[in-house]
Chains A and B, each alone.
Chain A
Amino acid sequence: MAVWFIRSVNIGHHLKEKLGLLGVLNNSLQHHYCRDPDAISSNSAYIFSIRRFESTKAQQQLHSMYEDDDQNQVLDFPGGRVMLTPEMGFISETPEQRVKCYRVLDDNGQPIMSSSFPEVNKELAIKMYRDMVTLQTMDTIFYEAQRQGRISFYATSTGEEAINIASATALTINDIVVPQYRESGVLLWRGFTMQEFANQCFGNKADNGKGRQMPIHYGSKKLNYFTVSSTIAEQLPQAVGVAYSLKMDRKDACVITYFGDGGTSEGDFHAALNFAAVLDAPVIFFCRNNGWAISTPTSEQFRSDGIVVKGQAYGIRSIRVDGNDALAVYNAVKEAREMAISEQRPILIEALTYRIGHHSTSDDSTKYRSANEIEHWRMVREPVTRFRKWVQWNGWWTEEDESELRSSVRKELLHAIQVAENVEKPPLADLFTDVYDHPPSNLYEQERSLRETIKRHPQDYPPNVPV
Chain B
Amino acid sequence: MLDVYFRNKLTELQDLSKLKVRKLKITNCENLDTVNEVPGCNSIVEEETNSTDSDEEIYSTDDDDDDDDDDDDDDDEGEEEEEESAKEGKTRALFGAIHPRNSVRCIRSKMAAIMQGIGAATALSSSSSSFDSKGFQLPSVKYFPERKATSLVVRSDGRLIPGSNLNARNVSGRLVTNAVAAKADTSATSTASKTGHELLLFEALREGLEEEMDRDPHVCVVGEDVGHYGGSYKVTKDLAPKYGDLRVLDTPIAENAFTGMAIGAAMTGLRPIVEGMNMGFLLLAYNQISNNCGMLHYTSGGQFTIPVVIRGPGGVGRQLGAEHSQRLESYFQSIPGIQMVACSTPYNAKGLMKAAIRSENPVILFEHVLLYNLKERIPDEEYVLSLEEAEMVRPGEHITILTYSRMRYHVMQAAKTLVNKGYDPEVIDIRSLKPFDLYTIGNSIKKTHRVLIVEECMRTGGIGASLTAAINENFNDYLDAPVMCLSSQDVPTPYAGTLEEWTVVQPAQIVTAVEQLCQ
Contacts and interface: CB of A to CB of B under 8 A. Distances in A.
Interface of A: 40-41, 43-45, 47-48, 176, 178, 207-210, 212-213, 217, 219-221, 226-227, 229, 231, 234-242, 244-249, 267-268, 271-272, 274-275, 278-279, 433-438, 440-442, 444-445, 448-449
Interface string B294-322: 01111111111100000000000000000
Contacts of A238: 260-261, 263-264, 267, 288, 292
Nearest to A273: B257
B243 A219 contact: no
Contacts of B303: 208-209, 219-221, 227
Given A226-B267, A226-B304, 9 more contacts: A41-B217, A41-B247, A219-B304, A231-B287, A240-B257, A241-B262, A248-B220, A249-B269, A448-B1
Contacts of A436: 297, 337, 339, 361
Nearest to B298: A434
6 contacts: A41-B242, A237-B257, A241-B272, A249-B269, A436-B339, A440-B101
A241 B260 contact: yes
Given A40-B244, A231-B287, A440-B388, A242 B298 contact: no
SS class, residues of chain A in contact with chain B: helix
A271 B252 contact: yes
A231 B242 contact: no
Contacts of A234: 260, 287-288, 291-292
B265 interface: yes
A279 B264 CA distance: 15
A237 B361 CA distance: 20
**Interface size grouping (class) on chain B:** 35 or more
A445 B1 contact: yes
A153 to B, nearest CB: 15
Contacts of A242: 264-265, 267-268
Contacts of B251: 275, 278
Nearest to A272: B257
Contacts of B359: 437
B492 interface: no
Interface of B: 1-2, 100-101, 217, 220, 240-247, 249, 251-252, 254, 256-270, 272, 287-288, 291-292, 295-305, 336-337, 339, 359-361, 388, 435-436, 438-439
Contacts of B258: 237, 275
Among B263, B305, B360, which residue has the most Cβ atoms of chain A within 10 A?
Answer: B263
Nearest to A442: B435
Given A41-B243, A242-B265, A435 B298 contact: yes
A436 B435 CA distance: 11
A434 B270 CA distance: 19
B438 A240 contact: no
Contacts of B388: 440
A45 B256 contact: no
A210 to B, nearest CB: 4
A13 B265 CA distance: 26
A208 B302 CA distance: 8
B76 to A, nearest CB: 32
B390 to A, nearest CB: 13
Contact of B246 (A44, A220, A226, A231): A44
A435 B267 contact: no
Contacts of A278: 251-252
B249 A279 contact: yes
Among B265, B304, B360, which residue has the most Cβ atoms of chain A within 10 A?
Answer: B265
Nearest to A448: B1
Contacts of B300: 208-209, 219, 221, 226-227
B244 A445 contact: no
Contact of A237 (B100, B259, B295, B360): B259
